[in-house]
Structure 1
Amino acid sequence: MKRFFLYYILFFFILFSSCITNKDVVYLQDKGTKVNDSLQIQALSKPYRVQVNDVLSIDVKALDKELVEIFNPTTSAMGKTQQSLYFNGFTVDLHGNIEFPILGELNVLGFTVEEIEEKVKSELLLKYFKKTAQIFVTVKLAGLKYTTLGEIGSKGSNVLYQDRVNILEAIANAGDILDTGDRKDVLIVRQYPGGQKIHHIDLTNITAMKSEFYFIQPNDLIMVKPLKRKAIGAGQTATQTLTTIASIFSVLVSTYFLARNL
């Protein structure tokens, strides 16, 4: 009988320790790293370089507005939308090229948007315009697209029209990580010219703000694993855990006394 109740106590301890605590859900905690109150986020040392399947929005402006219309297929009365950019934007093909009006194929793989601006401007001046045309070229990514999976509020693809987005902004836009999600080991699947790589980031630690993966990149996949506590099946809070324990304890006690009376 004593051994039986010792098992109950051990089971009670395991379940009680499985409830989710503040340390599991609070972002950017100072875990004894002695960071300054005014932690500065350093800009990415390496600007984003265009990859295969990226969609570019390219605007060409000059003194003669009618003359440059052919170079701006995505301009319309409705403006530039995600749908119009999908059909009329400049998609980087598997060889790293875009098909630009008049100029034909331009290789942009591995270039920054600033470098592409200079390249398009130079080609236009060389083959089509004179310097007196006062050409102005603007190149932007057609939205920063990323995908979320796992223990997160909204799964699927999202597009944000910003030049830079950090992972907390991306997660907030997707409905935040659920209480049952593991914030200490969030996975980022990132595309590189040679393939994909998986990176890890601990969002409960304030040092995540200094990580090279704190800012997301186009086509990133953010995966949030479930906490091990969820697999146990106990509640997320102490109250829920105690309710679960009480129910299981009651069933076990009833089973034990019924077995003794047989």
Structure 2
Amino acid sequence: MLRTILIILSLGLLLSSCIPKKELTYFQGEPSANKEMYKILNEPYKLQVNDILDIKIKANDETLVALFNQSVSQNIGNAGQVNADQFYLSGYTIDRHGNIRIPYIGELNVLGYTEKEVREKMESELAKYFKDLDDVFITVKLAGIRFTVLGEVSRPGAIVLFQNQVNIVEAIASAGDIAITGDRKRVTIVRKQIDGTKKIRLDLTDINVFSSDDYYIQSNDVIYIEPLKQKSWGTGTTGVQTFTTIVSVLSFVTTTILLAKTL
């Protein structure tokens, strides 16, 4: 009787602790009708506190604008490579009041502005120093998209990607993909906005994630991958691991029973 109970319990544990293929496969199903496969991010990003801007001011005569420049591009030299540390040291960081400090111009409030709006504001300020802005060219770009990936991924941590846009798939791939114990159906994005904090849930096993309004992440997003319940059970994530655990438990139980009978 005891042997039968142990066998039934072992089989139940084996079946319930293995992670089915359906839980691990990305982008299942077919795209819904009348939906774009890849959604284009139309709404421009609005700058937030701690964002870093790369601002370049150019002119035919560079000496005219040299005093206004603090761009990281001035410090790259012949290396031709830019990293997040360089932007942190030489870019324009938005402080807690929403301001950046431009040489000779002073503080500019850019909180909630788009890149285009900051450029237009810069042009307005420079008009005070130049009679003709036709020869002055200004570019304003977000110095990389910064985000954090936590939970069941291979390489959790803070990441910076130097792209205009980053989608959720690229963000997770940059963290080494979701581990086998990660729940692909419950990917959480925590987004701090000017008017508060927003919590977003995405299902990466569904093909229609590509048409989600939140397919593209934003700077300073926190992405969290929840663990599957199989991890908390501690019995293993594959059939082999679970079988090994069950054999060990059965051996321990059997040995305990035999010792108890001999006493």
TM-score w.r.t. structure 2 length?
Answer: 0.89
Percent identity over paired residues: 47
Any idea what the Cα deviations from partners look like across 1:83-115, whole Å, max 9, x if unmatched?
Answer: 232122111122211111222221111111112
Q: Distance in 2 between matches of 1:132 and 1:224?
A: 49
Deviation at residue 11 of structure 1 after TM alignment: 4.1
Distance 1:132 1:154, change over 3 A: closer
Q: Distance in 2 between matches of 1:212 and 1:254?
A: 58
Q: Contact (CA 8 Å) 2:145, 2:161: kept in 1 or not?
A: yes
Name the structure 2 match of 1:27.
26
Q: Distance in 2 between matches of 1:214 and 1:249?
A: 47
Any idea what the Cα deviations from partners look like across 1:147-170, whole Å, max 9, x if unmatched?
Answer: 111111112111110010111111
Q: Does 1:17 align with 2:19?
A: no
Q: Distance in 1 between matches of 2:250 and 2:213?
A: 48
2:49 aligns with one of 47, 52, 69 = 52
Q: Contact (CA 8 Å) 1:202, 1:208: kept in 2 or not?
A: yes
Distance 1:87 1:150, change over 3 A: same
Deviation at residue 260 of structure 1 after TM alignment: 4.0
Amino acid at match of 2:140: V
Q: Distance in 2 between matches of 1:132 and 1:104?
A: 19
Deviation at residue 66 of structure 1 after TM alignment: 1.2
- For 1:120, what is the secondary structure of its paired residue? helix
Name the structure 1 match of 2:68.
71
**Structure 2: runs of 5+ lacking an equivalent:** none
Deviation at residue 132 of structure 1 after TM alignment: 5.6
Deviation at residue 255 of structure 1 after TM alignment: 2.8
Any idea what the Cα deviations from partners look like across 1:176-217, whole Å, max 9, x if unmatched?
Answer: 111111111011111111332322111111121122222111
Q: Contact (CA 8 Å) 1:187, 1:200: kept in 2 or not?
A: yes
Name the structure 2 match of 1:167.
168
Q: Contact (CA 8 Å) 1:52, 1:93: kept in 2 or not?
A: yes
Distance 1:181 1:39, change over 3 A: same
Q: Map of 1:115-134 to 2, 5 A cutoff?
A: 115-125=117-127, 127-131=128-132, 133-134=134-135
Q: Distance in 2 between matches of 1:164 and 1:225?
A: 25
Amino acid at match of 1:246: V
Q: Contact (CA 8 Å) 1:144, 1:219: kept in 2 or not?
A: yes
Name the structure 1 match of 2:95.
93
Q: Contact (CA 8 Å) 1:16, 1:241: kept in 2 or not?
A: no
Q: Contact (CA 8 Å) 2:57, 2:69: kept in 1 or not?
A: yes
- For 1:197, what is the secondary structure of its paired residue? strand
Q: Distance in 1 between matches of 2:256 and 2:126?
A: 84
Name the structure 1 match of 2:114.
112
Q: Quick check: 106-115 or 83-92, which moved more? A: 83-92
- For 1:183, what is the secondary structure of its paired residue? strand
Q: Distance in 1 between matches of 2:134 and 2:207?
A: 51
